[in-house]
Structure 1
Amino acid sequence: MQTVTTLRPGVAADTDPSDVGRLVQEDRVHAQVYTDPAIFAMEMERIFERAWIFMAHESQLPRAGDFVTTRIGRQPIIVVRDSKGRINVLYNRCPHRGALLCREPEGNVHHFACPYHGWSFRTTGEITGVPFRSGYPEEFLKNEDLSMARVARVENYRGFIFASIAEHGPTLIEFMGPLKDGLDNLLDRSPTGEIEVSAGVHQYAYKGNWKMQMENGLDEYHPPFSHASTVKPDGQQVQRSYGAKGGFKVLAGSDPNQADARSHYDHGEVHGARYGQAYLTIPDATRRSELEDPAYRAMLIERHGEQKALALIANSNMSNAVFYPSVIMRVTGNMHIRVVRPVSVGLTEVLVWPIRIKGVADNINDGIIRYANVHVSVSSFVQTDDLEVFERVYEGLQAGKPEWVMLARGMGMDWEGPYPDEKVGLATWETGMRAQFRYWKELMTENKP
């Protein structure tokens, strides 16, 4: 698998933060936040370099020397397991002349070697070789830190590895907020308490802004329209999850334009909390039908006891968990990890890893992955529609008028949730997107520490 796109130098981030603040109002945002290269450059510095960014799942690094390469905003990163089993998150740059040390997306190494002048480094990042070292003054070799630089903060929550360039800020648990519940539920539904990310990756790019994908992970207003080709006359969509008897309902009536029409999705909810974290709940059980498998249920009962196992199943109602600004995790149904990587203001790369539940029968995992493919692959019935819409939105925003993008659905009607700053609304409301932009505005306008 090769990287889809090549990075280009960014525009200098010299936009006045106080001026950027006017571009976000409670019920709307200015089109400029999706189209301005200077704002994009500010986002890379003020958002991606302050937030917790998803790096990898530890199952992708099972052996010493296993690594994956990724990015924090535009900064190249290596995540690698060293010989003592520790996971290190390092800047993917030779400290000598700045060359990228590793271009491969994943692999296994004994050490990293720079292709320019041959400097080499252990999987801890420690320098281990400087060719023709006699050409350097001894004081230089003694006093300079010539090892690979480490990312400031790294935390591992039950196998999910996040990193932050910021020296200070909220802990990962604080940052996740209500999304921790979704990860706990996902992992507790495994007979071993673990999942695996071992089924390959889907990778695609679209000509549009990165925020479009993050917002779409919370948008239950669009499916009957963007995905109209997948909706049957009875209002049900094609089957999208393992074990389901059919598709899940997306239209409650025949005509969504009737005055009293209501989306079937509004049986579910959308939540938006502090730090832009947000999630959807599912309106029915069709996206978690693998839990009806008798053998699977028996394993959960054996692990947790019947009362706790049945409660766990009943509470498996979080769908998309959107960890702003870098990843969307589907924690029920066609479970997957979707990483969003900004490349430029109008180009975004997305990587999707299906999730396998450790300890369950192969046919269940195969079914979950098969329906993840139906949903998120570049040839799926669903994902292709979304990519077309993202590109249409970006192209449409080039028009000078109107200036604003509306986020008013459910405005003033949502209610308080249990977590700090949490608002809750019906699933088709734009409650979660408003939470994202509140955090966006906070980071983009506050003074840097």
Structure 2
Amino acid sequence: MDSLPPSPGDIARLVQPGRVHRAAYIDPAIFDLEMRLIFGRAWLYLCHESQVAEPGSFFTTVMGREPVIVSRDRGGALHVLFNRCTHRGAKLATDETGTAKRFVCCYHGWAFELDGKLAEVPLPEGYGGMPGADGSLDLVRVPRVATYRGFIFASRAKEGPSLSDWLGPIASSFDDMVDRAPGGVLEVAGGVSRHAYDGNWKLVIENHNDTLHPRFVHASSVAAARDQSDAVHSDGAGEVQIKQMRQNGAPAHVWEALGIWTTEWGHSFMGDYHTDARMAARGEEDPVEREYREALEKTHGAERAREIMGVTRFNSIVYPNLSFMSRFRQLRVVQPVSVNRTVVVTYTFRMPLAPERMFRDSIAFANVVNGAGSLVLTDDLETYARVQDGLASQGGDWVDVQRGLGGDQDEANGMLRGQTGTSEIHLRAQFAAWQRWMTP
């Protein structure tokens, strides 16, 4: 099946109860089909409204492998445009973010308004007058654009489920992230972190809610953190790192009790395992946490603030290209490059009305977990590469995803919960969605 023709019947047979054929990870023809049928039709996260907050601002990204521009015109309206001049096809905007009066092509000087309308063509008499007066040479728009709580999504498909229907219960993870910000104010800040790995795009979103791997994949950093003396102090970043690495070494019963939930479109979230047991045992509250709680109470009142702070979620996956941590204000966008090459872009959010120390801790956490120099991330990247290499071998055709199979629990709210916190229910949900997209 290495050269499997990507017909619907053959594709359907790649996913079976408790197992997935390795061709789903290594076949270039299947990857190309994913770009067309999944990334070409699903809602994809693009950016946050704070990244295009002002009229004239823009942000560039990709939808699958298609370059696009998110722009806000002078009237404040939002647009998502394919980043391609309609004259000779050159990419228009090359900066990741910025402001512009118009998008001007570097090749022949064609200029486009922020809403994509063709505005100026040098020497128009050569065309017998201004070309494209009927709008046929305007920049092509991405058919559907929608936002939820400030998070901007788009779909290249003209028809399909609405963003609200597609998000379903996972929308509550965005609610958690926004509600945690005093005043409901969030902004992307602190720079951008990028890393790439030699593996299929599915590996990273499978791993983020895999609660069984930390005690094995991250064993060396856990051991190093446990050996670190608590008498040694830094500016705070070191303590964030040590704490995270030690918590990755939590005993099995902690992971089993966490909980993991999925939705029909392949989205999922896992429970959180981060606690400060020492302070809790002494009945103490961290001063920064107290200041934050008081700021949150000003927005929501004491009872609602307690409810918000009591939500315990770690990674939330919005299939197929988004992973975020509402409590730690981290967001990762998955960008497939080829069947065995993937880029992950990480953004950190700041809560302007919260204690500034919380933003510093968010940046430190980003470096610990998501930065290219992280002792944690490098373990994961090595594992992805080993998985990709192993799947290319003749050692077997199937990938096993049956942990917890048969024990999924219907939560009666559009979600399923895994039998235990280490269930592979999230993998099965992702491949159910994969099969749904790939066999229309």
TM-score past 0.5 threshold: yes
1:81, distance to aligned residue in structure 2 (A): 1.4
Moved more, 418-427 or 347-356: 418-427
Residue 41 (structure 2) aligned to one of 21, 44, 50:
50
* Corresponding residue for residue 194 of structure 2: 203
Matched to 2:334, the amino acid is V
- Residues in 1 aligned to 2:306 and 2:288: alpha-carbon distance in whole angstroms: 11
SS in 2 for 1:55: strand
CA offsets 1:196-220 (integer angstroms, 9 cap, x no match) = 1111110111111000011011111
CA 140–386 in structure 1, closer or farther in 2 if over 3 Å, else same? same
Question: How far apart in 2 are the matches of 1:245 and 1:400?
Answer: 40
Moved more, 403-412 or 224-233: 224-233
AA matched with 1:337:
L
Q: The residue matched to 2:182 in structure 1 has which SS?
A: coil
Residue 184 of structure 1 deviates from its aligned partner by 0.8
Give, in angstroms, the shift of residue 420 of structure 1.
Answer: 2.7
Q: What residue identity is the alignment partner of 1:348? A: T
Change (3 A) 1:299 1:142: closer
| Contact in 2 for aligned 1:78/1:92 (Cα 8 Å) | yes
Q: Which residue of 2 aligns with 1:222?
A: 213
Q: Does 1:310 align with 2:306?
A: yes
Aligned-residue sequence identity (percent) comes to: 37
Q: Please list the CA deviations of residues 84-141 of structure 1 after superposition, one character each: whole Å capped at 9, or x if unmatched.
A: 1222110001111211112222222111011111110011111110111112245954
* Cα drift, residue 263 of structure 1: 4.3
- Structure 2: gaps (5+ residues): 231-235, 278-284
Spell out, residue by residue over 1:294-326, the C-alpha distance to the aligned partner (whole angstroms, 9 max, x if none).
111111112111111111111x21211101001
* 90, 93, 109: which one aligns with 1:102: 93
Counterpart for residue 301 of structure 1:
297
Once the 2 structures are TM-superposed, how far is the Cα of residue 292 of structure 1 from its aligned partner?
A: 6.8
Partner of 2:429: 435
Deviations 1:142-162 (A, max 9, x none): 345111111111111111000
Paired residue for 1:23? 14
Q: Do the aligned residues in 1 keep the contact of 2:117 with 2:135 (CA within 8 Å)?
A: no
Is 2:382 aligned against 1:362? no
Structure 2 equivalent of residue 278 of structure 1: 268
Query: Is the 2:241–2:365 contact (alpha carbons within 8 Å) kept by the matching residues of 1?
Result: no
Contact 2:288 2:355 in 1 (8 A): no
- The separation in 2 between residues aligned to 1:92 and 1:236, in whole angstroms, is 51
Counterpart in the other structure of 1:6:
none
* Structure 2 residue matching 1:437: 3-state secondary structure: helix
CA 1:243–1:376 in structure 2 vs 1: closer, same or farther (change >3 Å)?
closer
Shift of 1:236: 11
For the residues of structure 2 that align with 1:22 and 1:195, how far apart are their CA atoms?
A: 44
Equivalent residue for 1:154? 145
Q: CA deviation at 1:234?
A: 10
Deviation (angstroms), 1:235: 8.1
The 1:79/1:59 distance shift into structure 2, 3 A limit, reads same
Using the TM superposition, give the Cα deviation of residue 438 of structure 1 relative to its aligned residue in structure 2, in angstroms: 0.1
CA distance in structure 1 between the aligned counterparts of 2:152 and 2:227, rounded to whole angstroms: 37
- Pair 394,72 (structure 1): closer, same or farther in 2 beyond 3 Å: same
Q: TM-score, normalising length from structure 1?
A: 0.88
1:203-352 correspondence runs (5 A): 203-232=194-223, 246-247=243-244, 249-251=247-249, 262-286=252-276, 293-314=289-310, 316-333=311-328, 335-352=329-346
Q: Of the candidates 411, 419, 424, which is equivalent to residue 418 of structure 2? A: 424
Structure 1 runs of 4+ off > 6 angstroms? 233-245, 289-292
TM-score by length of 2: 0.90
Deviates more, 1:241-250 or 1:381-390: 241-250
Q: Which residue of 2 aligns with 1:390?
A: 384
The reply to whether residue 400 of structure 1 matches residue 394 of structure 2 is: yes
Residue aligned with 1:142, SS: coil
Please tell me whether the aligned partners of residues 266 and 432 of structure 2 are also in contact (alpha carbons under 8 angstroms): yes
CA contact (8 A) 2:408 2:425 kept: yes
Q: CA deviation at 1:195?
A: 1.1
TM superposition shift of 1:291:
9.7
In the superposition, relative to structure 1, how do residues 383 and 277 fare at CA in structure 2: closer, same or farther (>3 Å)?
A: same
CA distance in 2 between counterparts of 1:292 and 1:406 reads 44
1:303-354: CA deviation from partner (whole Å, max 9, x where unpaired): 111111111111x212111010011011113x21100000100110110011
- Counterparts in 2 of 1:245 and 1:130: CA distance versus 1, 3 Å: closer
Q: Distance in 1 between matches of 2:36 and 2:269?
A: 25
Structure 1: unaligned runs, 5 residues or longer: 1-11, 254-261
The answer to whether the 8 Å contact 1:218/1:432 transfers is yes
Quick check: 1:249–1:264 contact (8 Å CA) kept in 2? no
Matched AA of 1:168: E
Q: Deviations over 1:154-180 (max 9, x none)?
A: 111111000001111111121112221
Is residue 80 of structure 1 aligned with residue 74 of structure 2? no
CA distance in 1, matches of 2:42, 2:287: 34
CA separation in 1, counterparts of 2:46 and 2:373? 26
1:242 Cα offset (Å): 7.9
Greater share of helix residues, 1 or 2?
2
Question: What one-letter code is carried by the residue in structure 2 that aligns with 1:214?
Answer: I
- Are 1:195 and 1:358, in contact at CA under 8 Å, matched by a contact in 2? yes
Supply the RMSD in Å over aligned alpha carbons: 2.7
> 2:173 & 2:27 partners in 1: Cα distance?
34
